[in-house]
A and B are shown apart, each in its own frame.
Chain A
Amino acid sequence: MNFYVSPEQLMQDRAEFARKGISRGRAVAVLRYAGGIVMVADNHSTTLNKVSEIYDRIGFAAVGRYNEFEALRIAGIRHADLRGYAYDRRDVTGRSLAGAYSQQLGGAFSGAEKPFEVELIVAELGESGEGDVIYRISYDGVITEEDDLAVIGGDAERITAQLRGGLDPQASLGEALARAREALSSSSLEVAVLERGTARRRVFRRLTADEVARG
Chain B
Amino acid sequence: MTHLPDASPSFVEYLRRVAPDTLPRVATDALPAVHGTTIVAARYRDGVVMAGDRRATMGSAIAMRDIEKVFSADEQSIIGVAGVAGVAIELVRLFQVELEHFEKVEGVGLSFDGKANRLGALIRGNLTQAMQGLVVLPLFIGWDDRADRGRMFSYDATGGRYEEQEYTTVGSGAAFARGALKKLYDPEADERAAVAALLQSLYDAADDDSATSGLDLTRGIFPLVMRASADGVARWSEAGVRELAEAIVAARAGRPDGPRGYAL
Q: Do A and B bind each other?
A: yes
Binding site for B on A (CB under 8 A): 47, 49, 52-54, 74, 77-78, 81-82, 84-86, 200, 202
Determine if A54 and B104 form an interchain contact, defined as CB atoms under 8 angstroms apart: yes
Residues of B within 8 Å of A82, CB to CB, are 14-15, 18-19, 22
28 pairs, CB–CB < 8 Å, chain A vs chain B: A47-B107, A52-B104, A52-B107, A53-B104, A54-B104, A74-B7, A74-B105, A77-B101, A77-B104, A77-B105, A78-B11, A78-B14, A78-B101, A81-B11, A81-B97, A81-B100, A81-B101, A81-B104, A82-B18, A82-B22, A85-B11, A85-B15, A85-B22, A85-B93, A85-B94, A85-B97, A86-B22, A202-B100
Residues of A within 8 Å of B19, CB to CB, are 82, 86
Measured CB to CB, the closest approach of chain B to A177, in angstroms, equals 22
Q: How far is the CA of A86 from the CA of B24 in the complex (A)?
A: 11
Q: What would 12 more interface pairs be, CB under 8 Å, given A74-B105, A81-B101?
A: A52-B104, A52-B107, A74-B7, A77-B101, A77-B104, A77-B105, A81-B11, A81-B97, A81-B100, A82-B19, A86-B22, A200-B75
Total chain B interface residues with beta-carbon distance under 8 A: 16
Residues of A within 8 Å of B104, CB to CB, are 52-54, 77, 81
Residues of A within 8 Å of B94, CB to CB, are 85
From A54, A200, A202, name the one whose CB has the most chain B CB atoms within 10 angstroms.
A202
9 nearest A-B pairs in the assembled complex, by CB-CB distance = A77-B104, A81-B101, A85-B97, A86-B22, A81-B97, A53-B104, A74-B105, A81-B11, A78-B14
Measured CB to CB, the closest approach of chain B to A83, in angstroms, equals 10
CB within 8 Å: A-B pair count: 35
Q: How far is the CA of A82 from the CA of B107 in the complex (A)?
A: 19
Residues of B within 8 Å of A53, CB to CB, are 104
Q: How far is the CA of A53 from the CA of B22 in the complex (A)?
A: 24
Closest to B14 in A: A78
Measured CB to CB, the closest approach of chain B to A100, in angstroms, equals 14
Determine if A49 and B107 form an interchain contact, defined as CB atoms under 8 angstroms apart: yes
Q: How far is the CA of A192 from the CA of B77 in the complex (A)?
A: 25
Closest to A204 in B: B104
From A53, A85, A86, A202, name the one whose CB has the most chain B CB atoms within 10 angstroms.
A85
Residues of A within 8 Å of B18, CB to CB, are 82
The secondary-structure label for the interface of chain B is helix
Q: How far is the CA of A47 from the CA of B106 in the complex (A)?
A: 10
Closest to A49 in B: B107
Residues of B within 8 Å of A78, CB to CB, are 11, 14, 101
CB within 8 Å for A84 and B97 given contacts A74-B7, A78-B14: yes
Q: How far is the CA of A165 from the CA of B93 in the complex (A)?
A: 46
Q: How far is the CA of A49 from the CA of B104 in the complex (A)?
A: 12
Q: How far is the CA of A84 from the CA of B7 in the complex (A)?
A: 20
Measured CB to CB, the closest approach of chain A to B92, in angstroms, equals 12
Closest to A76 in B: B104
Measured CB to CB, the closest approach of chain A to B14, in angstroms, equals 6
Residues of A within 8 Å of B14, CB to CB, are 78, 82
Closest to B23 in A: A85
Closest to A55 in B: B104
Q: How far is the CA of A178 from the CA of B105 in the complex (A)?
A: 29
Q: How far is the CA of A85 from the CA of B75 in the complex (A)?
A: 18
Residues of B within 8 Å of A77, CB to CB, are 101, 104-105
Q: How far is the CA of A212 from the CA of B100 in the complex (A)?
A: 25
Q: How far is the CA of A85 from the CA of B94 in the complex (A)?
A: 7
Q: How far is the CA of A54 from the CA of B94 in the complex (A)?
A: 17
Q: How far is the CA of A77 from the CA of B9 in the complex (A)?
A: 10
Closest to A84 in B: B97
Closest to B18 in A: A82
Find residues 16-45 in chain B having any chain A CB closer than 8 Å to their own CB.
Answer: 18-19, 22
Measured CB to CB, the closest approach of chain A to B102, in angstroms, equals 10
Residues of A within 8 Å of B100, CB to CB, are 81, 202
